[in-house]
Amino acid sequence: MPRIPYSLFLRAHRIDPLLPPLLRECRDLCSARNELRWLTEYARSRDTGSESWRWKQRLQLLVRQRAAGKPLQYILGDQPFGDLTILCKEGVLIPRQDTESYTTRIAQRLLAENRLNPTKSIRIIDVCTGTGCIPLLLHSLLASSIPTISIIGVDISAMALSLAKKNLEYNIRNGALLSRARDEIHFVHADILDPRYLESDGSELGKMLSRSNQGHSKGLDLLISNPPYISPRDFTNGTTRRSVRLYEPTLALVPPPNQHPGRASGSARADSFYPHLLAASAQLDSRFTVLECGDLAQARRVAAMADDTRQNLPWSSQRNVKTEIWRCDWDIYSHEATEKVSFGDQEESATLDVTAKPDQGARAVVLSRC
């Protein structure tokens, strides 16, 4: 990471003495000024007394915390996510803009299909749900067009599940979610690395899926996941930001060891959740599968995993299956560059479609079938 010029620190200090400490984390003056404004508003809102020194003292403490690397979302306690406000706390992964981007994009695709072939219900599972941001955003985007929605958010962390439930109630109270979301979104504990987690007698998730399947002839509409995908090496060698390493839960970032049989490469541990997610997608006969990745190289590996196993998937005999790599940014519909790569013997059986600006990183692998 390039060093910040000393002249920029001097310029920041002339504007406000509290800016230079923030500059170390923000890396640019515009971001530092924005963060100082948010921290100032937060400090003022927390102090209703008449003495101005109290909120100023609080502000100095907040700036010191931020300068030490504590994420702004943990300090302020929330993060915007679409039209929602997601509560954040230490021990649970902070929602990212890229996650919001591909979640919005898959919701738009579901809505577009629904306009062509209207449906009365839709079923979704979010694996490694964390704060619950993905299920909540999907419900907020889909509820006005689809009468019945069933979304299950899955996580191994009791702290994450507790926060996800709080976020559900918080956004209903604030009017960001319809009250029906309380009956249509459920958060359950499950370890997706446990082979029995989908069995009806093996887990709460399995039992819920068994009840959900009653009266449904079709499979799942969407399996979506932002799993741990950072390798131990990338977590410690400076690739991962200091604030992430120090404050966000390693459990949500780095897969546990010895979970990827048959591979010895350095990327094996980083990729260890994806075979389980692809197997779940197959078992649940999911129409769409969206898996977040760290970069284009990992996305290509995940796409190749999907192709390696396609002969065993329920859709392997169909020819209209597509594997896409989405590069998510503020413009989620960017189409400035397209690269197509075919896997396997039949070009039409699996196509990798990379669509985005060339200099932007891949963030999601998407499997779709008709």
- Determine contact, residues 136/180, Cβ cutoff 8 Å: no
- Is pLDDT at 354 greater than 60 in this prediction? no
Q: What is the pLDDT of residues 57-85, one digit of tens each?
A: 999 999 999 999 999 999 999 999 999 99
The residue with greater pLDDT, 6 or 153, is: 153
Tell me which H or E stretch contains 6: helix 6-15
The residue with greater pLDDT, 113 or 351, is: 113
Among the listed residues 328, 306, 140, 151, the one whose alpha carbon sits nearest the alpha carbon of residue 222: 151
How far is CA 267 from each of CA 172, 259, 270, 274, 299, rounded to the nearest angstrom? Answer: 41, 12, 5, 12, 12
- Residues listed for the chain: 370
Q: What is the mean pLDDT of residues 19-26?
A: 93
Least confident of 175-189, 208-222, 281-295, 346-360: 346-360
Percentages of the chain per state (helix, strand, coil), in multiples of 5: 45, 15, 40
- % of the chain at pLDDT higher than 90: 65
Q: What is the mean pLDDT of residues 344-350?
A: 39
- Which domains occur in the chain, in start order? 6-68 (no CATH), 97-369 (3.40.50.150)
The residue with greater pLDDT, 23 or 311, is: 23
How far is CA 298 from each of CA 75, 241, 260, 322, 350, rounded to the nearest angstrom? Answer: 32, 19, 15, 18, 18
C-alpha 335/C-alpha 360 separation (Å) is 12
Q: What is the pLDDT of residue 66?
A: 96
Q: What is the pLDDT of residues 235-249, one digit of tens each?
A: 999 889 989 999 999
DSSP assignments along 216-249, one per residue? --S--SEEEE------HHHHHSSSS-HHHHHHS-
C-alpha 38/C-alpha 36 separation (Å) is 5
- Is pLDDT at 111 greater than 90 in this prediction? yes
